[in-house]
Structure formats: structure tokens, C-alpha cells
Amino acid sequence: MTVGVPDIVVPVREGAVNEQLRYALRSWAANLPHGQVWVVGHLPSWARGVRHLRTEQTGTKYQNTTLAVRAACEHPEVAEDFLLCNDDMFVMHRLPGGMPALHRGPVSKVERYYATRGNGKYLRGMRETRDLLVDLGYPDPLSYELHTPMLMTKTGMLDALDLGRDLDVVHKRTLYGNVANVGGTEIRDVKILHRAPTGYGPNSMFLSTMPDSFGAGYVGAFIRRSFPERCRYESGGR
């Protein structure tokens, strides 16, 4: 995909102060070339310099994020090319060439990993999204469910959401990535689930955290040390 500078779209759930989002914004301001930041859903009181799209959050977390992404894609002022981010995705080093295309490998491999951890809604959604892609002519689809920003187009994502409209837990990134033939480089997921000082280092390009690993783990302290200064998207705080 060849684009200009894309916007950033980040769905945010209702609730707390969201210090992860604060530091994610600091990392994007420093390292991820972008145009406008669009916060979709809940806007923390300290956020500034971003655009806000309010959405209803009355469904499951999966339904709420799908609604948020659709709202951004249907908004005329959001750029056609945008980076879909979560509020716990950190870009640790400068990306002067923009965000690369990344994937997690075949869905079949990722499915085996999650099958060892239970059989909940997320895994069911993975399987249903895979089955849909197989029906659409993608016999061995790739998983794009990484905790890294993903470059996409509004037109392409709306097409993907329409294809997956009957799925309760649609894997939006995976559906988009395969239908849009994104390709890319395979990496392991960068989510750090634990408090221990393992799984990341000074050369990590991308990181993501859980609330506990960010608030009480070594990785959270590492991220906070990496971005100690307030950025243009916040007021107050440290």
C-alpha cells in the first residue's frame, strides 16, 4: 500500500484515566508518522489535540470495537488511509518509512496456540473468521491479530466489516488483511502479559501490555522511562 501520512484511529473503552493510552500517544507522537489522531469511544479528560468520535458502548468489547472502527471508516473527515491502533500499543523506535505490514503467520498456527488456553469467544471468532475466509477463497489465511498498529483503508475495512457482519466476534484485522492482500512480514506477537523483565528489550520496535504488566511490571516501567516527557496530545500527568 502506497499512501501519504495516515491518520490514527484508536478505539477507547469507557472507564479509567487510561495511563496506557497516555504513553501510547507519547510513543506515536515521537516515533510513528501520522496525521490526525481520532479517539473513538471514550475521551479521557487529559487528552487534547485529538479528534473525538463518541460511540455507544453497550455491547461486548468485540462489538464495541467493531462499532468504533465502522464509525471511523464512515466519518468523512477521517483520512482514507489510517492506522488502526489499540490504546496499549507502543512504538518504541522511530519509523521514518512509516508502519510496515506485519502478520502473525497462518491462522491455523495461531489457533493451535489459543486452543491450549481455552475455548472462549475470541477463539470461536478466530475460527469463524477463518471459515469465512476459506469460503471466500483463502484456503490458508494469515492472522493479522497482532498488538501493533496496522495500516489500512476505510474503503477496504468497510468491505471487510460487511463481509463479517454476521459474525459475533469478527477478527477485523485478519479479515481485512487477507481480503486486501496486505501480505507483510511474520513476527511473534509483542504483548507482554507478565510482570517479569523478559520478552522485550532495548531493541524492541513494538510493545503492548496488559493493565497489570503496565502498572506493576518491569515492561511498564521500561515504557514510562522511554517516554518521560509530556507530548502534544495530553495535559496534566507526569
DSSP string, the chain: ---SSPEEEEEE-SSS--HHHHHHHHHHHHHS--S-EEEEE---TTB-SSEEE-----S-HHHHHHHHHHHHHH-TTS-SEEEE--TTEEE-S--TT-PPPEE-SBHHHHHHHHHTT---HHHHHHHHHHHHHHHTT-SSPBP---SS-EEEEHHHHHHHHHHTTT-TT--HHHHHHHHTT---EE----EE-SSSS-S--TT-SEEEE-HHHHHHSHHHHHHHHH--S--TTB-S--
- Determine the pLDDT at residue 225: 98
Whether residue 184 lies inside any domain: the answer is no
- Determine the pLDDT at residue 235: 87
- Determine the pLDDT at residue 66: 96
Q: Whole-angstrom Cα distance, residue 219 to residue 121?
A: 28
- Determine the pLDDT at residue 236: 65
Contact 103, 143 (CB under 8 A): yes
- Determine the pLDDT at residue 2: 43
- Determine the pLDDT at residue 237: 52
Whether residue 27 lies inside any domain: the answer is yes
Whether residue 39 lies inside any domain: the answer is yes
What is the Cα Rg of the chain in Å? 17
Whether residue 195 lies inside any domain: the answer is yes
- Determine the pLDDT at residue 233: 98
- Determine the pLDDT at residue 16: 67
Whether residue 120 lies inside any domain: the answer is no
Whether residue 76 lies inside any domain: the answer is yes
Percent of the chain exceeding pLDDT 70 equals 97
Q: Which domain holds residue 58?
A: 7-94+145-169+189-226
CA atoms within 13 A on the CB side of 28: 33
Residues of the chain with pLDDT under 70: 1-3, 16, 236-238
Whether residue 128 lies inside any domain: the answer is no
Q: How many domains does the chain have?
A: 1
